[in-house]
Amino acid sequence: LANQGHTSRLFRNNLEMGARTFTDVTAAAGIDIDGISRVAHFADLDNDGWLDIVVINDDDGTANASPSRIFQNNGDGTFSDRTAGAGFRPFGYLHCGATLADFDRDGLLDIYVTVWVRKGTAPLATFPGENQLYRNLGDFTFEDVSTQAGLAGVSIDCFTPIMHDFNADGWPDLFVAVDYAEDLFYWNVAGVFVEASSNTNTMHTGNDMGAALADFDDDGDLDIYTTNITDPGVPGFGFPTDGNCLYVNSSGAEEGASYADEAANRGVFDTYWGWGVSFIDVENDGNLDIIAANGMDEYVEFLIPDSQILDRPTVLFENDGTGAFARNNAPGLAPGEDSRPLVVFDYDRDGDQDVLIGNLAQPVRLLENTSSPQGHWLDVRLVQGEGGVRDAIGATVSVRLADVTKRREILCGGSYLAGVQAEAHFGVGESTVVDELTIRWPDGETVTYSDVGVDRFLTISRIPGDCYPDGVVDGRDIENFVKALLNDVNVDPCDSDMGSPGDVPQRLQRFIESLL
């Protein structure tokens, strides 16, 4: 996340050195950012296996403005600024979101940036700019293709975008949480976006700001949660507040999805003045909970003396296993602060999910998950080879536990002004083995593994022969391949081109061919 209201910094996790601490390596890494940074993403823009950095700055186009930045990871702990000549300069006085996906299926991550606000739909202010889609041309160069892709002229008050393949046709679609107007939904039809908000019933109004995507009810399709404002005092501010929205896919299918707002019925209507949000399995019981940051500054208190949204703690909704939620006032939730971005990630790699929250003019909060008891878990990372996005952004990972199937998405966007970890985390409760693990790669190809061990971080490579999943095929892969033949559940499954697990001669032949 970009440290809005503070100078942006790059912190290295020292866990590999045995310490659960972070070190500020901004200067040593060659990161130098001025201006007002709103959004930051780690993303492998050139598919070399190293995460680059995209930082979105407010930029009114004047000579004194500080443009958004692209930093190339040099693979040695340092970065090179590739902004000059990149063709990447999103124009907008207030940038409020960005998401990355391979919208045109050329194997490179593209960037969609949102802006708030141009045409004065908000009663408070009018700012220049409109949303922009940048196609990745390779070698850290980009082209604004908003017009060609059907996204030109989107200049309402847009906040968080999520780009993902909602209908499983292989093309990443687009959802945008919108402030003061209806949310936006687009189907991606062979690289051209077609507006479908009305057809999908994703037109919640009010002040949607944060957004999260997941199959929280385990019915096989994707649902969307957006944060909004819920405050009886706010109507005096001059606009309505509609509360949060939980878009539940009511069609029973991915293709031709239709959504119904069930936030009130499911118990997740109110997060005060909500911002960053994420689904999270706090206790690894297999049920996706919801955690949301909230806050607003004293200006609102001045305008609305009876406001009830100030000094509210982070909100946690616990999923009871049926898809209904109850507010959980767990000890250690961030105190009432003016919070914005929120990121869920396992910072100490102990198998449970922790939370990072950014605040305006206040310190960043790192919330370590100490919940007990904890269920078993499985964390899956994917690697692709030539022709595909390296970190498999856009893939879906599913696990089957007896007669229940749970799915997770590999994304690069969501929450609010924040990145997300490109991993699929599953709490599996009391299960000690996953019956089936299925990957649907971004191009639609699927592969299934059986009897997968739990309580581990699993990296699965699509690169032929990469059984030691580091993106390189060499002698280190042989040991893992032999163990995989022996069905060692503690070893990562080999890639899908190795043949079926039981076909030993075929797997040996293909493995030797891949090494040669």
Please indicate, yes or no, whether residues 181 and 276 belong to a single structural domain of this protein: yes
Distance CA 428, CA 352 (A): 12
Candidates 305, 273, 278; CA nearest to 289 is 278
Distance CA 397, CA 471 (A): 19
Q: Is the pLDDT of residue 107 over 60?
A: yes
Tokens at 30, concatenated: 């060659």
Please indicate, yes or no, whether residues 405 and 478 belong to a single structural domain of this protein: yes
Q: Which helix (H) or strand (E) holds 380?
A: strand 376-383
Please indicate, yes or no, whether residues 361 and 431 belong to a single structural domain of this protein: no
CA distances from 255 to 169, 197, 443, 478 (A): 8, 14, 16, 41
Show Cβ contacts of residue 123 under 8 Å, excluding neighbours closer than 6 positions.
238, 239
Domain end among 314, 339, 367: 367
125 pLDDT tier (thresholds 50, 70, 90): low
253 lies in some domain: yes
385-426 pLDDT, tens digit per residue, is 888 999 999 999 999 999 999 999 999 999 999 999 999 999
Tokens at 510, concatenated: 């293909």
CA distances from 507 to 349, 483, 495, 496, 497 (A): 32, 13, 10, 10, 8
Find out whether 182 and 175 touch, Cβ atoms under 8 Å.
Answer: no
Please provide the average confidence, as pLDDT, over all residues in the chain: 88
Show Cβ contacts of residue 144 under 8 Å, excluding neighbours closer than 6 positions.
87, 132, 133, 134, 135
Tokens at 496, concatenated: 């899908």
Give the least confident one: 240-249, 270-279, 453-462: 240-249
464 lies in some domain: yes
Distance CA 109, CA 96 (A): 20
CA distances from 48 to 73, 221, 420, 452, 472 (A): 9, 32, 20, 28, 11
309 lies in some domain: yes
Phi (first) and psi of residue 253, to 5 degrees: -155, 155
Percent of the chain exceeding pLDDT 90 equals 64
- The pLDDT of residue 120 is 47
Over residues 302-327, the mean pLDDT reads 84
- The pLDDT of residue 476 is 74
Domain end among 337, 367, 397: 367
- The pLDDT of residue 511 is 65
Furthest C-alpha separation in the chain? 75
Please indicate, yes or no, whether residues 449 and 413 belong to a single structural domain of this protein: yes
238-271 pLDDT, tens digit per residue, is 555 689 999 999 776 566 688 999 999 999 999 9
Strands 456-461 and 376-383: parallel
Under DSSP, is residue 498 helix (H, G, I), strand (E, B) or coil? helix
Residue 141, amino acid:
T
Give the least confident one: 167-176, 303-312, 337-346, 355-364: 303-312
Distance CA 377, CA 369 (A): 14
Please indicate, yes or no, whether residues 78 and 178 belong to a single structural domain of this protein: yes
Show Cβ contacts of residue 391 under 8 Å, excluding neighbours closer than 6 positions.
43, 44, 381, 382, 383, 384, 410, 412, 422
2 lies in some domain: no
CA distances from 83 to 2, 26, 55, 98, 142 (A): 17, 17, 10, 17, 10
Distance CA 106, CA 196 (A): 24
Distance CA 459, CA 494 (A): 10
31-82 pLDDT, tens digit per residue, is 998 888 889 999 999 999 999 999 999 888 787 888 999 999 999 999 999 9
Please indicate, yes or no, whether residues 336 and 385 belong to a single structural domain of this protein: no
What is the domain count for the chain?
Answer: 2
Candidates 271, 317, 316, 328; CA nearest to 296 is 271
Please indicate, yes or no, whether residues 360 and 394 belong to a single structural domain of this protein: no
DSSP structure class, residue 168: S
Please indicate, yes or no, whether residues 141 and 265 belong to a single structural domain of this protein: yes
286 pLDDT tier (thresholds 50, 70, 90): very high
- The pLDDT of residue 255 is 63
Please indicate, yes or no, whether residues 325 and 408 belong to a single structural domain of this protein: no
4 lies in some domain: no
453 lies in some domain: yes
Please indicate, yes or no, whether residues 251 and 355 belong to a single structural domain of this protein: yes
Find out whether 323 and 287 touch, Cβ atoms under 8 Å.
Answer: no
Over residues 229-235, the mean pLDDT reads 65
6 lies in some domain: no
Decide which of 173 and 251 is more confident. 173
Q: Is the pLDDT of residue 436 over 50?
A: yes
CATH of the domain at 245: 2.130.10.10
Distance CA 484, CA 453 (A): 12
For 97, other C-beta atoms within 10 Å of its C-beta total: 29
464-508 pLDDT, tens digit per residue, is 777 777 777 777 777 777 777 666 655 566 655 555 555 556 656
DSSP letters along 8-56, please?
A: ---EEE-GGGT-S-EEE-TTTTT----S-EEEEEEE-SSSSSS-EEEEE
1 lies in some domain: no
- The pLDDT of residue 3 is 65
Decide which of 140 and 479 is more confident. 140
Please indicate, yes or no, whether residues 396 and 359 belong to a single structural domain of this protein: no
- The pLDDT of residue 387 is 86
Domain assignment of residue 435, given as a range: 379-515
Please indicate, yes or no, whether residues 363 and 386 belong to a single structural domain of this protein: no
Candidates 169, 162, 151, 161; CA nearest to 256 is 169
- The pLDDT of residue 509 is 64
